[in-house]
Each structure stands twice: as C-alpha cells, then as structure tokens.
Amino acid sequence: MLQIDDLTYHIAGRGLFEKASAVIPTGHKVGIVGRNGAGKSTLFQIIMGNLSPDGGSVKYSPHLKLGMVAQEAPSGSTSLLQTVLSAHSELQILQSQADKETDPERIADIYNRLADINAQSAEARAAAILSGLGFSAQAQKRPCSDFSGGWRMRVALASILFTEPDFLLLDEPTNYLDLEGVLWLEQFIRKYRHTVLIISHDRDLLNSAVNGILHVHEGKLSYSTGGYNQFEASLAEQQRQQATLKARQDLERARIQTFVDRFRAKASKAKQVQSRVKALERMTPIASIVAQQTTPFQFPEPGSCAPPLMKLDNVSVGYEERQPVLEKVNLRLDPEDRIALLGANGNGKSTLAKLLAGRLNVQSGEYQTAPKLTVGYFAQHQVDELNLDETAYNHLRPMMPLAKESEVRARLGQFGFSADKADTIVSKLSGGEKARLLFALMSFEAPQVMILDEPTNHLDIDSREALVLALNEYPGAVILISHDRHLLEACVNDLWVVEKGSLHRFEGSLEDYRQKILRDKNDARQQKVTVFHGSDDDKKSRHEKRKENASQRQRLSPLKKAVEAAESEVTLLSEEKAKYDRALSNPRLYDPDNPKAQEAQTQFIQEQARLESALEVAEEKWLAALAALEEVEAQLTK
C-alpha cells in the first residue's frame, strides 16, 4: 500500500502540492491524471525518493521494490535482449555467483532463489516483452546503437517491465509506441500482478487498463475507483453539487447580511443581529469552481481545390539510393477525406507522410497533386521542425512580414500563447506548448490537406478533445498517424494499413483492427524457452526443495497475513475518515438556528477525532507487522 500524507512541495516559489493526501491500495492499477504542469511527474520523483518534499510523507513498506523507466535511453554495442536481461540485477548476480561458487549449501541456496525468480524462463520473458513492443527476434539480437532514440526508449520500457517491481511507475509510456504497442501494453498492465501507477492522457488506456484514478488538481490529490469515464462523470457531478451548494450558501449569506444591515441600529434586535454576525463568521465559505478553460485550436478555412487533391499510381518511395521503403503505392485523396494510416512503427507510415508532405521525392511511379495545393505537416519529432533558441513570436514573425506586432501576437493567441509565452524561447516551452506552436505554423497558409504524425503525444486530455473538435470542424482533408484510438475513432472514416512494404485499405472498423492485432500477437507468442540448467551434483533434490520452500512459506504465512490485515484496517479507517471529512464540509451543519444540525456537527467531529486516533494506532500496527516480516525474510535469505 502507498500512503501519501499531507504532502507539500514547492518549486520556484510555486506550490505544486499543499497538504495533499491519498491512499493507493496494493495491487491496484492506477491512472494519474491532471492538467500539464499540475505536478504528476514531480509526484513520481517524490515517490521514487529523487525529490524531498517540503512537508508531509510518502509511506510504503521498505522491502518493496520500485521501478521507473530510465530517463536516458540505453545505448552501446549490447544487444537488445541482453540489455533487458541485464536490467534484472539480482538475476545477473545470482547467475554469476552460480558459476563461481563451490560451497554445496550456498549453491543450493542460489538455485532455490533462481527458481523463485523464474530464472529458467527469463530469456523467454524478456524476448516476449520486446516482441510485444515491436522488436522482431532478429532485431532483438542487434545492438542498441543500431536504433533511434524512440526505439531505444522502448528498450528502456521493456527493461523495467522485465524486472517486475512491486510498484511500477510509468510516465506517458505510450509516447514512443504505435497503436500495436499500446494494445500490447494494455494487456500487460491488466495482467501485471503488482501495483501500477501510470501517468497518461490516453483515454482508452485509462478506461481499459486501470481500476482507479488519482486526480492531481490545484495542489491536492483525490483517488476514485473505476476508469477514466467513471472519474469524468463523477467529477462533473461533484462540481455540479459544489456549484449548487455555493449558490445556496451565497443566498443564505445574503439573507443574513440583509437582516444584519437592516436591524444593526435597533437595540431591540441587538441579540438577533449579534447571533447572525457570529453565524456568518462560522460559515465556512464554499469555494467557487474555477473553470480551467482549454484554448481551442483554430484552423483557418482552406481555399477550394478540384479533386483529386493527390493521386499516387504504383509509387515507390524511400531514402536516397537505398531500397524503397514502400513500393507500388496507390492512393487517391479527395477533399474532406479522413484517413488513418495504421501499422507498426518502422513499416513506413512516417515515410509515406513525408512523401505526401513534400519532404521526400518519388523514386518511381506517378504522383500528381492538384494545382495550388497547400499541405500542412505536423512532424512526430517536433524538435526537427522548431528552432530551440528562438521564441514563438520569432517563428511566426517571418511568415507575417507586413503585419503589425499586435496581429502576430493575436495569431499566436489563437493557439494559446499569452504575451509571456510568445516571448519564451522554444527550449523552455512544455511539450504541449511546442505542439501548439507547430499547429500554428503548419496551418498558417490555410492548407487543403493536413498530415498529422502523432499530434497528441504531448497534449493533455482536454487539449486532445479540443483537437478532435477542431479537426471535425476543419473542411479540408486529413491524414492521421496516431496511437490515440479516441482521436482516430472520432475523426477518421477510412483506414489504410502500411505493412510489408505496401499500402492497402483495411475493410473494417478500428475495433476490428484491434482484434486482429491481438490475434496476431497471440499467434506470435510461441517462442523457444531457454531453460536455466544446473548440474545434478550442484542441485538439491526436488523433494528437498519443496520441503524447504514449504517450511519457509509456513513461517512467513502468518506474518504476511498480519501485514495484509493491518493494511486492510488502515485502508478501511482512511476511507471511513474521508466520509466524515466530506460530511463536515457541508454548510448545513453550521446553521445556528438548527439544533439538530449542531448536534450532528458535534457527533461528526467526535467521530472524526476517534477515527484519526484509531488510524494512528493502525498505522503503527501496520509498520510493526512489516518490520517483523522483513526481519524473518532477512534471516531466511542469509
């Protein structure tokens, strides 16, 4: 169980967390959501111990292992498979010790531990994870240095998944994945046997792979069970209720204030006036709902163009003199066409996008475009399209040479750039802000075709929804490459698959394609298992191992049950206390003219205090049980 109590953390004078609390039950798969900049990644760093909070605490059992994807992608001459295997440090140490150890008892201990961590299937499991993330058996044998940064980040993800930490922390893991990889990751998270915390803006992932949502908002944390859709509906209802209570309280305050103002000067009403003044002072104001507006995307209206906008006949495309990436490509694009390019990364989706955007030339075949056709291109790798040392204003100024400064800034404002942000150099902008700048630049000339290669990677959920609305209002043609199923389902009506060097139409829905991918993944799971062998002289008999393991389990079982019982008690008391915390925020309890409300208020405060005391005792009991368990585990591993 992960328990966050009164967490406070400030950065550059700004409070990210102010007495934030939450409890994450063991084994839960939790999606962490919130606006960009709310503090989600900072929370991960605090949990990992890389940052120290200004106040409060983050508690979990010290014997639990935490794991997070490394910020730097692996590199060097080591093969992908060996890189993943090397990430499991205990496995590597034990295997090394097994090769050198001569003491029979120690050798037996090593082999027992290797069996406990499934060493015999380690290579097969590592290969299966790499395969799920898009690496063929042949690619797994190649060195990391052969692959681009995005592909090597997949290896970093595979490495942490292979180590199976008790707390798996994933920060936007789908940013480097294609749709096929995302579907595999969803399955993996659902079946993962430990606790998972995942920061994501992918609505479908948060609906299918998690059973709880932790909302980071205005320095606070709130946990709710269910997927993202349930959280969204619950949040909307809470906001509606809060707005209703706020309106009622404002009316009541106004009524009391009117009475006070009217009879303040009358001696006969002095007691009543004083009573109402005190009532106003005791009335805890209900906070207004501060609407966090998401700046909409505003794509300019394109000029008309006669169809077809583009037409490809038996086209081959690739890079320089090398073998074509795609051959015999046939495609016709008309106004208002909405096409999704599907297929695993590395098959040529981005290559085709670059051809259609005019970034690559045809190697053979015929490629025709409509006269005066303008194409807007959103590149997957934003850094390649932007000058990191220039401001947003400086990027747009050359495109509007005759315009006034105010007009340039107004154009940037349409994409969410305030005066300060417009004058900030690109290297200091967030990923979402860079994306908005790229949208502003690529749509500047009112293109008849927009080609968007993974446009949502750095957008939060609300910004993604704004993009959906803008694309559906845009009258031109759209070609989308994205792993965001919500975006695809909302915006496209034609599916094309890029695979095996060719392009073909997919006859079916996106759900049909998802089912096909999952079937293909299941068919490909049949892999050779490398069994970890030791000599007969070095191993204990299976019977002796079973007896020894049974003895250890018998000794640990009551201690583990005590930990689980104490943890359950802490969870129940935390949930019960939260009920009274919420109840005491009801303004009706503070009505001085209602004796029953005052009586209920007193009871609630007493119960809240009792639960706080009981919770402290339960937490001490839980920590004591953990300490006893860890002591015995340490003795058994000596």
2-11 and 55-59 as β-strands: parallel, antiparallel, unpaired? Answer: antiparallel
Together in a domain, 55 and 25: yes
338-342 and 477-481 as β-strands: parallel, antiparallel, unpaired? Answer: parallel
Is pLDDT of 534 > 50? no
Of 55-69, 249-263, 345-359, 383-397, the one with minimum mean pLDDT is 249-263
For residue 144, is it within any domain?
no
| Buried-exposed string 195-219: b where 16+ CB fall within 10 A, e elsewhere | bbbbbbbbbbbbbbbbbbbbbbeeb
Is pLDDT of 527 > 90? no
Give the pLDDT score at 539: 42
14-24 and 2-11 as β-strands: parallel, antiparallel, unpaired? Answer: antiparallel
35: left (phi over 0), alpha (psi -120 to 50) or beta: beta
How many CB atoms are closer than 10 A to CB 384?
7
How many CB atoms are closer than 10 A to CB 295?
15
Give the pLDDT score at 404: 92
Give the pLDDT score at 111: 78
Give the pLDDT score at 613: 81
For residue 141, is it within any domain?
no
Contacts of residue 118, Cβ cutoff 8 Å, sequence gap at least 6:
125
Together in a domain, 258 and 218: no
Is pLDDT of 542 > 50? no
| Buried-exposed string 518-531: b where 16+ CB fall within 10 A, e elsewhere | eeebeeeeeeeeee
Nearest-CA neighbor of 13 among 52, 54, 44, 49? 54
For residue 373, is it within any domain?
yes
Q: Tokens at residue 295, please?
A: 């700046």
Together in a domain, 489 and 546: no
Together in a domain, 428 and 507: yes
Region 242-249 average pLDDT = 70
Is pLDDT of 280 > 80? no
AA letter at 282: R
For residue 125, is it within any domain?
no
Classify the C-alpha dihedral 581-584-586-587 as positive or negative. negative
Give the pLDDT score at 567: 81
Contacts of residue 249, Cβ cutoff 8 Å, sequence gap at least 6:
283, 285, 286, 587
Give the pLDDT score at 289: 47
Region 163-181 average pLDDT = 91
Question: At 29, which helix (H) or strand (E)?
Answer: strand 29-33
Tell me how far apart the alpha carbons of residues 301 and 223 are, in angstroms, rounded to a whole number.
Answer: 43
Q: What's the CATH number where 403 sits?
A: 3.40.50.300
Tell me how far apart the alpha carbons of residues 165 and 6 are, in angstroms, rounded to a whole number.
Answer: 26
Together in a domain, 434 and 466: yes
User: How many domains are contained in the chain?
Assistant: 4
For residue 133, is it within any domain?
no
Task: Name 354's bridge partners.
Answer: none
| pLDDT tens figures, 16-49 | 899 999 999 888 999 999 888 888 999 999 999 9
Higher pLDDT, 358 or 321: 358
Q: Let me know if 352 is exposed, middle or buried by CB neighbors in 10 A (0-12, 13-18, 19+).
A: buried
Contacts of residue 539, Cβ cutoff 8 Å, sequence gap at least 6:
107, 108, 111
Together in a domain, 186 and 260: no
| pLDDT tens figures, 287-296 | 554 445 677 8
Give the pLDDT score at 569: 83
Together in a domain, 248 and 219: no
- ∠140-142-147 over CA atoms, to 5°? 95
Together in a domain, 38 and 181: yes
How many CB atoms are closer than 10 A to CB 270?
12
Q: Tokens at residue 590, please?
A: 């503070």
Query: What pLDDT band is residue 515 in, cutting at 50, 70 and 90?
Result: confident
Residue with tokens 């979990």, as numbered in its chain? 60
One DSSP character per residue, 330-389 reads EEEE-TT-EEEEES-TTSSHHHHHHHHTTSS-EEEEEEEE-TT--EEEE-SSGGGTS-TT
Last residue of a domain, one of 204, 226, 248: 226
Nearest-CA neighbor of 347 among 498, 530, 553, 539? 498
Question: At 146, which helix (H) or strand (E)?
Answer: none
Is pLDDT of 247 > 90? no
The number of residues in the chain equals 638
Region 119-127 average pLDDT = 87
The answer to whether the CB of 390 falls within 8 A of the CB of 446 is: no
For residue 562, is it within any domain?
yes
Of 135-149, 239-253, 309-323, 584-598, the one with minimum mean pLDDT is 584-598
Together in a domain, 489 and 362: yes
Give the pLDDT score at 261: 80
- The DSSP symbol for 129 reads H
Contacts of residue 408, Cβ cutoff 8 Å, sequence gap at least 6:
393, 396, 397, 400
Tell me how far apart the alpha carbons of residues 270 and 230 are, in angstroms, rounded to a whole number.
Answer: 51
Tell me how far apart the alpha carbons of residues 452 and 439 are, in angstroms, rounded to a whole number.
Answer: 9
One DSSP character per residue, 471-511 reads HHH--SEEEEE-S-HHHHHHH-SEEEEEETTEEEE--S-HH
Helix (H, G, I), strand (E, B) or coil at 31: strand
Radius of gyration of the chain (CA): 30
Give the pLDDT score at 503: 94
Together in a domain, 250 and 220: no
Together in a domain, 492 and 396: yes
Nearest-CA neighbor of 42 among 66, 73, 17? 17
What percent of the chain has pLDDT above 70? 86
528: left (phi over 0), alpha (psi -120 to 50) or beta: beta
For residue 115, is it within any domain?
no
Query: What pLDDT band is residue 333 in, cutting at 50, 70 and 90?
Result: very high
Query: What pLDDT band is residue 554 in, cutting at 50, 70 and 90?
Result: low
452: left (phi over 0), alpha (psi -120 to 50) or beta: beta
Is pLDDT of 419 > 90? no
Provide the residue range defining the domain that includes 39.
1-65+165-226
Q: Highest mean pLDDT: which of 75-79, 249-253, 550-554?
A: 75-79
Region 477-490 average pLDDT = 92
Give the pLDDT score at 447: 94
Q: Tokens at residue 101, please?
A: 């150890």
Region 134-139 average pLDDT = 89
Together in a domain, 259 and 316: no
Q: Highest mean pLDDT: which of 48-52, 146-150, 321-325?
A: 48-52
The answer to whether the CB of 346 falls within 8 A of the CB of 328 is: no
Query: What pLDDT band is residue 309 in, cutting at 50, 70 and 90?
Result: very high
Of 208-217, 478-487, 499-508, 626-635, the one with minimum mean pLDDT is 626-635
Tell me how far apart the alpha carbons of residues 442 and 359 are, in angstroms, rounded to a whole number.
Answer: 14
Q: Tokens at residue 235, please?
A: 């949040």
Q: Highest mean pLDDT: which of 373-382, 425-434, 501-510, 604-613?
A: 501-510
For residue 82, is it within any domain?
no
Helix (H, G, I), strand (E, B) or coil at 138: helix
Is pLDDT of 116 > 50? yes
